[in-house]
Amino acid sequence: MSETGISEHRPVALVTGASSGMGSAIARELAATHHVIAVGRDAVRLAAVVDLIESSGDGNGASAAAWRFDLVEDQEEIGARVAGLGRLDALVHAAAISPRRSVSEADPADWNAQFAVNVIAPAVLTRHALPLLRKARGTVVFIGSGAGTRPVPGSAIYTASKHALRAVADVLRIDEEPHRVRVATVAPGQTDTEMLRAAIPAAEYAPERYIRPESVAGTVRFVIDAPADVQLTDVAVRPRQEVARI
């Protein structure tokens, strides 16, 4: 082990938004083969994710670390922490917020808050991580949304932010081709998470209709494990029976 606690022989994955929902499922999925750095704002939940990973490793060397950071407020701190890693093979951006606001309802603070978390924070974190990702010829995965290609009525800011995030991924992929860094957008449809529960009245919520977070995690695994001669650039993950055609 290095001074950072990372094995020289085990790839390293950093997952944001790892304290719940898709981020937590992705962290747990990747822990079977990677040392996982779980990043989030809730220290208690992060600790629970790390404990679950390390207690269910079945002797396969599963290990994880919890980094409590606010991706907007602590950009320089997390950048310095990333720079101190010995290696980084995969970076998964799962953190997002999605308060519903129409153009008529949204004020500048609403726009700034969602773009700060959903677009600017992942772009800045990626900038900090690029030297290690280039060295590893690693993979960046942006968790997008069906909203990243089609409009969602009443949700102008979130829709715009996911369109923007996809644009960031597409430009990054071109710019990083000389360094062989792979860049993917994995875009789930409606997924059974706290974020979705907050957006749908409880009386109308039917979890069996929505994608399981573990299914999204399996897709991220598929993207990261792709053969070395290819990259999977845009992966849409849709419910078996469509709930909303976005």
User: Which residue in 20, 158, 216, 223 is the catalytic one?
Assistant: 158
139-143/35-40 β-pairing: unpaired
Alpha-carbon distance of 165 to 122, in angstroms, equals 9
Neighbours of 230 (CB within 10 A): 8
Order the strands of the 182-188 sheet from edge to edge. Answer: 63-68, 35-40, 12-16, 90-93, 139-143, 182-188, 234-237
Domain residues of the chain, as ranges? 12-237
pLDDT tens-digit readout, 64-112: 999 999 999 999 999 999 999 999 999 999 999 988 899 999 999 999 9
pLDDT tens-digit readout, 122-135: 999 999 999 999 99
Mean pLDDT for the chain overall: 90
| DSSP code of residue 97 | -
Task: Tell me whether residue 210 is one of the annotated catalytic residues.
Answer: no
CATH dotted code for 12-237: 3.40.50.720
pLDDT tens-digit readout, 2-55: 434 555 679 999 999 999 899 999 999 999 999 999 999 999 999 999 999 988
